[in-house]
Structure 1
Amino acid sequence: METSVLSLIPPILALVMVVLTRRVLLSLGVGIIVGALMLNGYNPIDALANIYAIVTGIIFDYGDVDIVTFASVTSAILESGFTINTWEFYIVLFLLLLGMLAALVTRSGGSRAFGEWAMKRVKTRVGAQLFAIALGFIIFIDDYFNSLTVGNVSRPLTDRHRVSRAKLAYIVDSTAAPMCVISPVSSWGAYIIAIIAGILSTYSITEYGALEAFMLMIPMNIYALVALAMVIIVAWFNLDFGAMKVHERRAIETGELVDSSAGAIPGSQDELEASDNGKVGDLVWPIIALIVGTVFFMILTGIQGTEGQATLLTIFENTDVSASLVYGGLFGLLVALLLNMTKQNNGTGLVKSLGIGMKSMLPAIYILFFAWTIISIISDLGTGAYLASLVDGSIHPMFLPVILFVIAGFAAFSTGTSWGTFGLLLPIAGEMASVIDISMLLPMLAAVLAGSIFGDHCSPISDTTILSSTGAGSHHIDHVMTQLPYALIAAGISMMSYLVLGATTSVFLGVVTALILLVLTVFVLKRMQSKEA
């Protein structure tokens, strides 16, 4: 199908329906069906076969099929010997493992004990939120790992201090991707550096290497820096507005951490009965095992995947993130099992707890399957390529960073993938800089990274957004709608800063502009808040 503006219809339709109906699976399903029909000349049989091929392709790695039909896809799966598509399979398996681990921690009384321990030391709502933020800053190895771990560890503390689940989801999401994208020692950093290396080699740029270029781009990644600063400011000054204010006010006044009118939280583990003799170690040791195990296997698989001399950068470039998450999850689950088995426990039965844990992750898995399916259809429609084609060589160089920021933002928002946007737009930005003004290369690349994170934060089909709401125990659509105003404010500040950066080519002035605008924004929001009080 030729790339055109029509490729925007499925993602926009799905996103509008999410907002209007608040039913994520229904909305994504409609987007999937419409997109499949568009891809297949509006033939319903071919469209269903296309969807079948995508869904089975998420589970099985059966290679390419010349003509997609139910029979040809099934035959390809049989011929492949039911070879598992390890990336998606391992992510799903990790979710199930984490659900079981969280259930065992709750069953052992570890969550309750940690909440009581933390309450004695973290005595304010602000402190509880800053604790979650600090964890997000520390656990920057991978965004999936960050989103799920920080949410699960912080929840007992934030629940005790009546911090709404939507607020916790915002904290988790606003520290996950922004930290990963500015850290060279992360799965994100290694991926981005590898792309940058290819761009520098293509255009024979030798004044700096890929790692040095990445480090130079960190202060230019303005959205990530503003988002990180903003989440701290929001927690410190209680800057709650829009939908977030409703959630926070309800949590403070009634202790109701989620909107009960929206129904029970999908995947809640409330039916678990916790032991009354739990210890803090019942939570801490499984989480430490999870973190240590995951990092260990990321390093090990990175070394195994590196040809020649292994460095820290090449290790993270070649690491198998999904497999490492599973191995780390198994190690954490084993420790949790041992702690549960070596003590008398009067809570829910062990086997039943494991079942509840797996069941709690099913809603997130359903949403991920739908999101992965619509992302594949959007890719086939060429939505990202169409958005990239909107940038041409007739634009003045000073406007390029802000334009790339906006296009990257809309591409990530529409496609639900920041990594896909990196892979698509970073080479295009490199080519444009080589033709128009090579001195703008790093600002343009940084603008693509920043815009991708912005779009990822706003998109309900982003896997990071889905996992952040899962880890925090929030309704997914509540997380999307409460985070959106903060993301838009950070994006507005970033756009003005990129205009200054493009006009002056001064990174210092661009960052100072962002800082001034952030301070002014906080001042205005505080004034508005005091008037409403």
Structure 2
Amino acid sequence: MEFTNTIWSLLPPLIAIILALITKEVYSSLFIGIFAGGLLYAGFNLTAAMEHIFVNGMIGQLSDSWNVGILIFLVILGSMVMLMNRAGGSAAFGKWAVTHVKTKAGAQVATIVLGMLIFIDDYFNCLTVGSVMRPVTDKHGISREKLAYLIDATAAPVCIIAPISSWAAAVTGFVDGANGLSLFIRAIPYNFYALLTLVMMFSITYMKFDYGSMNLAELNHRAELKERKKKDAASLTGAEDQPHPPISERGKVIHLVLPIAALIICNVIGMIYTGGFFQGESFVDAFSNSDASVGLVYGSVVALVITIVFFLATRVLSFSECMNAIPEGFKSMVPAIIVLTFAWTLKAMTDSLGAKEYVAGLVSNIADNHALMSLLPAIVFLVGIFLAFATGTSWGTFGILIPIVVNVFGGDINNELMIISISACMAGAVCGDHCSPISDTTIMASAGADCDHISHVTTQLPYAFTVAGVSLVSYIISGFVRNWAVCLLIGIVLMVGSLACIKKLHREPQ
């Protein structure tokens, strides 16, 4: 029986996702999905399946230069976070934030705004926002699940509406025979999922409520805080609960702010360097041509050196303490590295089975039906969600769907329906990526918030589904109305109205 280029090609990721959501255990779930993919590819020949899994899959993914660059970036970020913690910068920032960010809503808004400002790259966004805002959200009793959602919702959804980002560069690269950046900019107002996700975050923050599994996570976190306070009150010191070396008492806010500033500046310079900025390319073109993986490695290495030199110069840490913090930071990122490796391997299994080609064929058949043309944006949005959710990659989804949409309309850049459909592809890809437990961005958000990965996935799913539902209605309307201002206004009204109704149906946590 032939399994490639058929519906069977989607079985391995579905197995992994369903098992992860049921068992709440991500490592074994991913590996079972990988093993199923290997068996299908090899026609249930065990020897060939194992060779495909480990040689073509895991080893192949770990020898890919892009993936290696991301892992190096992840390790360096973990080391920098550990250095900032040991130097007392995170603790000092937390104390400063208590006096300046005085409410729980304020802490959430600060997280959202910071996430919106760091729009260059989603990986960079997840880890940087997490390391900066964890002390603030911890002080205000915000659960790690809520922090992970705010990080994740300001990563890919913000990058996909930022013309100067690694995501814009990826999208424009999939549009042949047209000005990709121009199409990207024209599609931004129709990217309902990304825009309504921002509306969603600000709405639940100012309405001061949560629902679904996120509500339960917040309540459990409050109960844990109360129990912790009782234990702290019962003991003279909490030192026995501290597994790490003592934090420097000389740490100040600058010992967190300067490393983060260096990280942002150095990563921007690293990315435009790989895009040829210093060889005469314009800033925008340099970003469009940049290699985010290499650029982030360059920038983070320089930022790490600056951080160590700064800590030594201000004598908050000795050289040996700095060196000891680096492997500790590496260890803190091991869970994320394992999940990423398994997720990449599962993607390799899915690719080898021809899942992309199978879905591309389905979409082409739908697009050939002229009676469904007005519904094409909504259909493309749903297909994008499913494909990105099953494969864990939004960029791969762009690569499949955008060329199909462009070909359907003959590359007519003046066709408004084509712009809407391209935007629906991007929105669906980001939505599926946002929901998928095997998405690298979702994994990074869990790492940035220091949150259990499956807890992050299950708590953000109700929120993502709510936005996806409103976005689907907006795309159905836009296929007929074809006016972004009208459709976006309807979407915002529906989004806020839906949340108001949900709030009435759910008791607000006290």
The answer to whether the aligner puts 1:298 opposite 2:278 as a matched pair is no
1:16 aligned residue: 18
Match of 2:118 among 139, 146, 152: 139
Counterpart in the other structure of 1:254 = 224
Q: Contact conserved, 2:312 with 2:319, CA < 8 A, in 1?
A: no
> How far apart in 1 are the matches of 2:6 and 2:378?
23
Quote the offset at 1:324 in angstroms.
1.5
Counterpart in the other structure of 1:55: 58
Cross-structure match for 1:472: 449
**Aligned position for 1:30:** 32
Taking the aligned partners of 2:508 and 2:274, their CA distance within structure 1 comes to 56
Name the aligned partner's letter for residue 327 of structure 1: Y
Shift of 1:126: 0.7
Report deviation, 1:344: 5.0
**Which position in structure 2 is the counterpart of 1:210?**
180
Amino acid at match of 2:341: F
Q: Which residue of 1 aligns with 2:481?
A: 504
Alignment partner of 1:117 out of 96, 109, 122: 96
* Percentage of matched positions with identical amino acids: 40
In structure 2, the residue matched to 1:415 is 391
Contact 1:434 1:441 in 2 (8 A): no
Shift of the alpha carbon at 1:140? 0.3
Q: Per-residue deviation at 1:248?
A: 1.1
Alignment of 1:125-164 (within 5 A): 125-164=104-143
Q: Does the C-alpha gap of structure 1 residues 461 and 517 become closer, same or farther in structure 2, counting only changes over 3 Å?
A: same
For residues 199 and 493 of structure 2, the distance between their equivalents in structure 1, rounded to whole angstroms, comes to: 12
Q: Answer yes or no: is 1:101 the counterpart of 2:72.
A: no
Distance 1:435 1:151, change over 3 A: closer
**Residue pairs, 1:296-375, within 5 angstroms:** 296-303=269-276, 310-342=281-313, 343-345=315-317, 349-375=321-347
Contact in 2 for aligned 1:15/1:460 (Cα 8 Å): yes
| Alpha-carbon shift at residue 325 of structure 1 (Å) | 1.1
Larger mean Cα displacement after TM superposition, 452-461 or 272-281: 272-281
* 2: CA distance, partners of 1:22 / 1:348: 39
The amino acid of 1:286's aligned partner reads P
Between the aligned partners of 1:464 and 1:340, the Cα distance in structure 2 is 31
Output the CA distance in 1 between the equivalents of 2:188 and 2:374: 19
Q: In the alignment, what sits opposite 1:75?
A: none
Which one of 406, 409, 426 corresponds to residue 433 of structure 1? 409
Residue 493, structure 1, aligned to residue 466, structure 2: no
Amino acid across the alignment from 2:194: A
How far is the alpha carbon of 1:350 from its aligned partner? 3.4
Q: Secondary structure at the match of 1:423?
A: helix
Unpaired segments ≥5 residues, structure 1: 61-84, 201-208, 259-268
Mark the runs of 5 or more structure 2 residues left unpaired by the alignment.
Answer: 229-241
Say whether the 8 Å CA contact 1:272–1:347 is kept in structure 2. no
Cα pair distance change 1:27/1:516, threshold 3 Å: same
Q: Could you tell me how far apart the structure 2 residues matched to 1:138 and 1:251 are?
A: 28
Deviation, structure 1 residue 382: 1.6
Query: Which structure would you say has the larger RCO, counting Cα contacts within 8 Å and 6 or more residues apart?
Result: 2
Equivalent in the alignment of 2:205: 235
Alignment of 1:267-282 (within 5 A): 271-282=244-255
TM-fit CA distance, 1:347 = 12
Deviations 1:432-460 (A, max 9, x none): 23399954211111100000010001100
Q: Distance in 1 between matches of 2:68 and 2:227?
A: 32
**Distance in structure 1 (CA, Å) of the matches to 2:258 and 2:411:** 54
State the TM-score, normalized to the length of structure 2. 0.91
Moved more, 502-511 or 398-407: 502-511
C-alpha separation between the residues in 2 aligned to 1:132 and 1:461?
24
Give the conservation status (yes or no) of the 8 Å contact 1:10–1:31.
yes
Contact persistence 1:305–1:318 (CA under 8 A): no
Q: 1:442 to 1:463 in 2, by over 3 A?
A: same
Question: Are the aligned partners of 1:164 and 1:257 in contact in 2 as well (CA < 8 Å)?
Answer: no
> Following the alignment from structure 2 to structure 1, what is the Cα–Cα distance between the partners of residues 495 and 264?
34
Deviation at 1:513, TM superposition (A): 1.8
Change (3 A) 1:144 1:121: same
State how 1:69-80 maps to structure 2 within 5 Å: none
Letter in 2 for 1:90: G
Once the two structures are TM-superposed, the CA of residue 313 in structure 1 deviates from its matched residue by 2.8
Aligned equivalent of 1:527: 504
- Shift in alpha-carbon separation, 1:272–1:424, aligned structure 2, 3 A: farther
The aligned runs of 1:456-471 (5 Å cut-off) are: 456-471=433-448
Deviation at 1:270, TM superposition (A): 5.8
**Equivalent residue letter for 1:213:** L
What is the CA–CA distance in structure 1 between the aligned matches of 2:66 and 2:192, rounded to whole Å?
31
* C-alpha contact 1:405 1:447 (8 A) present in aligned 2: yes
Q: 1:347 to 1:158 in 2, by over 3 A?
A: farther
1:308-357 CA distances to partner (integer Å, 9 max, x unpaired)? Answer: x6223321121121112112211221122123323155999433322211
Amino acid at match of 1:414: A
Q: The residue matched to 1:42 in structure 2 has which SS? A: coil
CA–CA distance in structure 2, aligned partners of residues 285 and 490 of structure 1: 36
What's the TM-score, normalizing by structure 1?
Answer: 0.87
CA distance in 1, matches of 2:227, 2:191: 33
Separation of aligned partners in 1, 2:50 and 2:278: 38
Matched, 1:91 2:94: no
- Distance in 2 separating the partners of 1:250 and 1:330: 38
Whether 1:183 and 2:155 are equivalent positions in the alignment is no
Q: Any idea what SS the aligned residue of 1:255 has?
A: helix
CA contact (8 A) 1:187 1:316 kept: yes
Amino acid aligned to 2:86:
R
Equivalent residues in 2 for 1:33-48, closer than 5 Å? 33-48=35-50
- Aligned-residue CA RMSD (Å): 2.3
Residue of structure 2 equivalent to 1:451: 428
